[in-house]
Structure 1
Amino acid sequence: MEGFNFPETFSRPALFDFEGVSMINFFTDNWENIQNFKARPDDILVATYPKAGTTWVSYILDLLYFGNTAPERQTDLPIYMRVPFLEAVIPGLPSGVELADSLCTTPRLIKTHLPVQLVPKSFWEQNCRVVYVARNAKDNAVSYFHFDRMNMGQPDPVDWSTDLQKFKDGKKVFGPWYDHVCGYWEKKHTYSNIHYMFFEDMVEDTGREVERLCSFLGLSTPTEERDRITKGVHFDAMKQNNMINYSTVPLMDFKISPFMRKGKVGDWKNHFTVAQNEQFDEHYKQRMKNTTLQFRTQI
């Protein structure tokens, strides 16, 4: 595949503990360069737990800033080149740090799945805008399971019940969902430049969320333009768009599951048994008892 020098033999990576968080080597191999990354004041960091709407928000931001001025980006550059994945070191590709450093856009749009305590310090020091997207735990667990099934660059999820247990135990890549969503929520108290979004709100009313995003970014995007973007980022449109849907990445086996699977709220009901749901609710209550953060599992 063009742009990839992909190794002939490839085995799934093993999970290990790194700085107190479950990680794989693809996100720690370049650690010193990641931590020393030089953010600029106008950089925008898209931060999420995996499978919470990262690509969706990245695409919205890309259209808001460059949809008119550089339309060729939409047809020539896959989203992972336009919005580099900062900590990624994938065989055969430039590292996320290299891609971010070589961006010549203003602002630079950069994505991360790092929990808040591992984000390079320069983002906070430069007072960068951070757009965080959170998704309810049940749908997030289901989406992450299907993602790991089809992505050979992730540990093998084995089966749904094994993987659900791993999710509860925080033994997924990038650590516990609970710590991730709460970490950025708490950070808002001391760092005002975070816009905290919910996947469920975006599904419910994408236009409203695009408007709120513009307001946070200080953009006076005309209504017609926002409407056009809202239509363009509809899930089905993105799923068909080869520059957005990751179909150009050889690590991912679309025969198992598409990268963009359903994009719905409430799909967890098709996966959780009654017993799993009751146990999950009990565990969730314990893990979330000290936060004001609240989620909807249906809309």
Structure 2
Amino acid sequence: MDLSSITDSEGNTMKFRQYQGRKFHPNIEENVSHRIQSISSLKTRPDDVMLCTYPKSGTHWVFNIIHMLRSHNLQYVGSPDVLEYIDLDKMNLKDSPRTYHTHMTFPLIPEEAKQGKIKVIHVLRNPKDVLCSFYNYQNRMNNKLFQGTFDGFVNFFLSDEFPHCGGTWFTYMKEWTEAKMANKHLNILTLYYEDLVRDLFSNVVNLAKFLEVEHDVVFLRQVVEAVSFDNLKSKHATDSGIKDTWMDWIKDGRLPIYHKGKVGSWKEAFTVAQNEKFDAVYKEKMSAMNIDPAFIFK
């Protein structure tokens, strides 16, 4: 499937691949239909855990927390296996218990996950910080999703044309929210990035309970310390942060995932006009979808 692009009147360009009316990140394999079907039909195991996030919503942070809780050690393990990009045949050969990740919007996740056969952890983050982190992240990649100004990126993010995981951020929110309301079989825990920043220990306790792993308070506090932003950033700078999967994405195979790790960083990037436009579009679209996730935008 050929790579497509959209260019606005100011020359800002967004690249994507398209399948059945949905747009995907340009780095997904050329045969998008094959990848989508392979993810949908993935054979899960009862002790699998699937982490689901929209990009730049705390993926690597929460993945390492999950790994530490499930493995009973404090080792940093870098990036998760991402269903959109990993060799799924090789993943099927991995020992249990497996923890893997997807950015896909709900209709495109594995069918067995929809049926409640595995545990799903869903992490959400306020979209203003998502946007800023996403812009800085993709600017450092070899195969860029977007080329242009920050203002152009804001406009694309708010439009119906923003590609990545089969839908815009708004589509992602709508489809996941509706699924949680309608699908009683889901075995899911929803976390908010802002809550993790505010009170990480309580969230680690809740994660441990959801994962059905027992740890004493001492170990849980050690996990909290081990996954502090500074510690993770330091560990990511070692060989542990390198993964062959990302060699074509960035020179040394080390994703530029640790930027600021704060709540409210958007205030340093948005102009007044950009913020007003974002708020207007956000209010209109979220109202039309009849959902209110009550994000913290402080």
TM-score tier, shorter chain, comes to 0.7 to 0.9
| 1:278 aligned onto 2:283 | no
Matched residues in 2 for 1:208 and 1:152: separation? 38
Gaps of at least 5 residues in structure 1 are 1-11, 89-94
Name the structure 2 match of 1:7: none
Give 1:247 shift. 8.0
Letter in 2 for 1:214: A
- TM-score (ref. length: structure 2): 0.83
Deviations 1:178-226 (A, max 9, x none): 2213322332222341111100001111111111111222222211111
Are the structure 2 counterparts of residues 166 and 17 from structure 1 closer, same or farther at C-alpha, using a change threshold of 3 Å? same
Are the structure 2 counterparts of residues 84 and 96 from structure 1 closer, same or farther at C-alpha, using a change threshold of 3 Å? farther
Deviations 1:114-148 (A, max 9, x none): 00011121222352111000110100000110111
Give 1:232 shift. 0.3
Give 1:40 shift. 1.6
Matched residues in 1 for 2:292 and 2:64: separation? 29
Name the structure 1 match of 2:106: 116
| 1:195 aligned onto 2:189 | yes
Q: Structure 1 or 2: larger strand share?
A: 2
Name the structure 2 match of 1:181: 173
Matched residues in 1 for 2:240 and 2:270: separation? 29
Matched residues in 1 for 2:239 and 2:108: separation? 29
Deviations 1:1-36 (A, max 9, x none): xxxxxxxxxxx9931332333213532534132232
5 Å-filtered alignment, 1:223-238, equals 223-238=217-232
| 1:101 aligned onto 2:92 | yes
5 Å-filtered alignment, 1:1-299, equals 14-28=15-29, 29=31, 30-31=34-35, 32-68=37-73, 74=75, 78-80=77-79, 83-88=80-85, 95-106=86-97, 108-125=98-115, 127-170=117-160, 171-174=162-165, 175-189=167-181, 190-191=183-184, 192-241=186-235, 242=238, 245-246=241-242, 249-250=246-247, 251-252=249-250, 258-289=256-287, 290-298=290-298
Gaps of at least 5 residues in structure 2 are 1-12
- TM-score (ref. length: structure 1): 0.82
Identity percentage of aligned residues: 27
Are the structure 2 counterparts of residues 276 and 25 from structure 1 closer, same or farther at C-alpha, using a change threshold of 3 Å? closer
Letter in 1 for 2:276: E
